[in-house]
Structure 1
Amino acid sequence: MNLTKRTTRTRTTRLAALAAAATAALLGGAAGPVAAAPPAPLAHVALGDSYASGFGTGSYVNACGQSPLGLPGILDSKKQVELVADATCAGAKAASEAGGALDLPEQVARVTATGALSPSTDLVTISAGGNDAGFGQVAGVCATRPTADCEQFIAVQNATALPALERTLDTLYSTVGSAAPGATVVVTGYPHLFSPEAGTPALLPVASQIAFNDATDAVNAVIRVRAEAHGFTFVDLVQKFEGHGLGSTDPWITFQPGAVDNLHPTAEGYRSGYFPAVRSSVNLAQLQR
């Protein structure tokens, strides 16, 4: 993560805006009305897993699978937003786990230590919970076993993983809220990977596709309830991806069995699914005021 450069750039932008405003105030009486300086961009910190980093686009800049084609990069390309820290990492969990990816607690600790996540942070985006709920294991079972086994495995996961996820998210959200009390925190859910209405059983049985989507809904429900309990904005992605799951004629989900980024949004999915969903939930221009 290149935190120093991004943080310095944001501070420079804000100082320039303040200088312009001061100059306008000094000259206003002698030179007449002066146009107001544009508002400083929102200081944005991105946290999360592979669905936050941009996995699925194929254009990665580091081992965490970060891509400029993912949501953080798309937001950063808008004039209202300045990405001061992208801590997202493929494989990350909401709870800490020894070894493996940079989990959310470690991400939060890093950006807090650098000063990127602070009381001056304006916007935080978070995607977390899918790995804790065992999305990868569920996909493996549903893709290789009969639907009955798929449904049974999901039932067990829901009974064991989701209660733990509730507690984990509460801890995570409390930590983020304490570190950045003035920030608007946007929590994204997960899209449906399949479009079973297309009736394409080649991927896996249609009934298994429905079961997997139902499992996604169960995880999303937990994330929504905990996010809203902390005053955060939950962004539902299911509707935006409707008709664009695997099996449809225009999928926004990758399907490359064996690839490390299989079953993730494509660049089009982030561009036409994630970004519009966030934009419709959060008025970026209004946050600048």
Structure 2
Amino acid sequence: MKLSRLAALSSSIVLGAVLALTGAGTAQAGTSAAALDYVALGDSYSSGVGAGSYDSASGDCKRSTRAFPKLWAAANAPSSFAFTACSGARTNDVTANQLGPLSSATDLVSLTVGGNDAGFADVMTTCVLQSEATCISRVNQARAYVDSTLPGRLDSVYSAVRSKAPSAKVVVLGYPRFYKLGGSCIAGLSEGERTAINGASDYLNAAVARRAAAHGFTFGSVVGTFTGHEICSGSAWLHSVNWLNIGESYHPTAAGQSGGYLPVLNAND
């Protein structure tokens, strides 16, 4: 009897050592930690516009299999994954059309929103097609909107998310700077226009970060991961004007989704 207990104890010690050395115990713990419910909300930066490989079932929302939420889900195997982000979405679109999968069981939510509310597409169109003075004037209008109206709109969508998913970790991701100043571009926008657009992106990110923090959410900046990969960098992870598919202009490529956005979600999930 004593020998049996001793043998069992010895076997237990050996097994524990093997698990520690092989990492099998860690792998098992990781699997349990990954068994969570994940919902991905937001605009085209979350749906993956610009990355290609769109799910035809998503229609005009253009959800890409290369978008960072899909990549995160593939790597982490959550117990459930709902992908409702949609191209062109504004804050009211997220509230009205994307929150259905959220519940008290939701563990993780990712979200990009605010750029369309601030008139991002019109800013870029104005800057590409019109003068530098008109471009900078339009940028300043967008900044004024970020001051006056966007905070309340963000509060509305953030409150709705928290109401429907009271226990979830919510990660709000920002937007990249679009241009490397003094970079390789020899045509297109002026350096003054590029500087104004980068400044507006920083301004928007700061406003989003403040409202996210006020709701207890985590803000993930992608400025760092995109540094060195802006337009005019020579190694861009963002489309410039794409005349063949204009909707992909100024959106992350597949490399921007996997190298720019995914690491930030991984660092904050």
Which TM bucket (shorter chain)? Answer: 0.7 to 0.9
Map 1:32-71 onto structure 2 (within 5 A). Answer: 38-39=31-32, 41-61=35-55, 62-63=58-59, 64-71=61-68
The answer to which structure has the higher helix fraction is 2
Map 1:160-175 onto structure 2 (within 5 A). Answer: 160-175=145-160
Query: Aligned-pair distance for 1:80?
Result: 5.1
Find the partner of 2:76 among 56, 79, 96.
79
| Local SS of the residue matching 2:225 | coil
Find the partner of 2:195 among 193, 197, 210.
210
Q: Determine if the alignment matches structure 1 residue 107 to structure 2 residue 97.
A: yes
**For the Cα contact (< 8 Å) 1:47–1:107, is it kept in 2?**
no
Query: 1:13 maps to what in 2?
Result: none
Deviations 1:253-283 (A, max 9, x none): 113135122210000001111011222233x
Please list every run of 5 or more consecutive structure 1 residues that lacks an aligned counterpart in the other structure. Answer: 1-31, 96-102, 283-289
Paired with 1:214 and 1:241, the residues of 2 have a C-alpha distance of 15
**For the Cα contact (< 8 Å) 1:199–1:206, is it kept in 2?**
no
Paired with 2:234 and 2:52, the residues of 1 have a C-alpha distance of 21
| Local SS of the residue matching 2:207 | helix
**For the Cα contact (< 8 Å) 2:45–2:251, is it kept in 1?**
yes
**For the Cα contact (< 8 Å) 1:72–1:83, is it kept in 2?**
no
Structure 1 residues 83 and 194, CA gap change in structure 2 (3 angstroms): farther
Deviations 1:145-177 (A, max 9, x none): 222221111112221354211000001101101
Query: Aligned-pair distance for 1:249?
Result: 0.9
Map 1:132-143 onto structure 2 (within 5 A). Answer: 132-143=117-128
Q: Determine if the alignment matches structure 1 residue 122 to structure 2 residue 112.
A: no
Considering only aligned residues, what root-mean-square deviation do their CA atoms show, in Å? Answer: 2.1
Paired with 1:130 and 1:163, the residues of 2 have a C-alpha distance of 15
What is the letter of the counterpart of residue 276 of structure 1?
P
Larger radius of gyration: 2
Query: 1:196 maps to what in 2?
Result: 181
TM normalised by structure 1 equals 0.78
Query: Aligned-pair distance for 1:84?
Result: 2.2
Find the partner of 1:276 among 259, 263, 266.
263
Find the partner of 2:169 among 177, 180, 184.
184
Deviations 1:61-98 (A, max 9, x none): 12111011001111111135345211110000012xxx
Structure 1 residues 80 and 257, CA gap change in structure 2 (3 angstroms): same
Paired with 1:57 and 1:108, the residues of 2 have a C-alpha distance of 21
What is the letter of the counterpart of residue 105 of structure 1?
T
Query: Aligned-pair distance for 1:199?
Result: 5.1
Paired with 1:108 and 1:278, the residues of 2 have a C-alpha distance of 19
Find the partner of 1:257 among 237, 243, 247.
243
Query: Aligned-pair distance for 1:197?
Result: 2.9
What is the letter of the counterpart of residue 187 of structure 1?
V
What is the letter of the counterpart of residue 42 of structure 1?
L
Find the partner of 2:90 among 93, 101, 105.
93
Select between 71-80 and 118-127 the one with higher mean Cα deviation.
71-80
Find the partner of 1:246 among 231, 236, 240.
231
Structure 1 residues 273 and 83, CA gap change in structure 2 (3 angstroms): farther
Query: 2:206 maps to what in 1?
Result: 221
Equivalenced residue count is: 240
**For the Cα contact (< 8 Å) 1:57–1:266, is it kept in 2?**
yes
Paired with 1:70 and 1:212, the residues of 2 have a C-alpha distance of 24
What is the letter of the counterpart of residue 104 of structure 1?
V
Percent identity among equivalent residues? 37
